[in-house]
Amino acid sequence: MTQVAIVMGSQSDWPTMQKAALMLKELGVEYKAQVVSAHRTPNLLVEFAEGASENGIQVIIAGAGGAAHLPGMIAAHTHLPVLGCPVRSSQLSGLDSLLSIVQMPKGVAVGTLAIGEAGAANAGLMAAQIVALQNTNVRDNIVAFRAKQTETVLANQRLELDE
């Protein structure tokens, strides 16, 4: 059963948002990805967000660029945790996306990640960490992922002087 939903405002967000999908796949979390836009598919947004909980979704990752209202509007229609990913925009490099997502009014929460691919990957990791609260397989996968990461960092250090 799908545990995490990844939604994005446009097909053009997929190169960024697939980093979340890749992380979830690596950590053994079932996910489904789809395009949903607060602006362009407003009725679908309401249908998706209101049905997410009864469809078994535990966490929603929402990525959008520019006037990125998607994560906040989804959060307004569900009690599930929503992780917002600011996609890098062509005009303002994603600062517009970040500010659109991060400044939520008190009472409706969106957990905002960093701009771009690293933020999307971390949204996948954070979603997996939430799923892992009640899933020991995913928890074990996260622990193993982190241990491998530490090992790789230490094994790859090359600190000779360039002379």
Ligand X SMILES: Nc1c(C(=O)O)ncn1[C@@H]1O[C@H](COP(=O)(O)O)[C@@H](O)[C@H]1O
Within 8 A by CB and 6+ apart from 115, the residues are: 86, 87, 88, 93, 94, 95, 97, 98
User: Is 10 known to sit in a ligand binding site?
Assistant: yes
Helix or strand or coil: residue 148? helix
162 marked as binding residue: no
Name residues contacting ligand X, limited to 68-107 (CB under 6 A). Answer: 68-70, 87
Least separation in angstroms between residue 118's CB and ligand X is 17
Cβ neighbours, 10 Å, residue 52: 22
Count other Cβ atoms within 10 Å, centred on residue 139. Answer: 16
3-class secondary structure, 4: strand
Which region, judged by CB under 6 A, interacts with ligand X, from 5-13, 19-27, 78-86, 141-149?
5-13
**Binding of ligand X at residue 9 (CB under 6 A)?**
yes
13 scored as a contact of ligand X (CB under 6 A): yes
To ligand X, the closest distance from the beta carbon of 78 in angstroms equals 15
| Cα-to-chain-centroid distance, residue 100 | 15
12 lies in the binding site for ligand X (CB under 6 A):
yes
Site for ligand X in 22-51 (CB under 6 A): 37-40
The residues of the shown chain that bind ligand X, judged by CB under 6 A, are 8-10, 12-13, 37-40, 64-70, 87
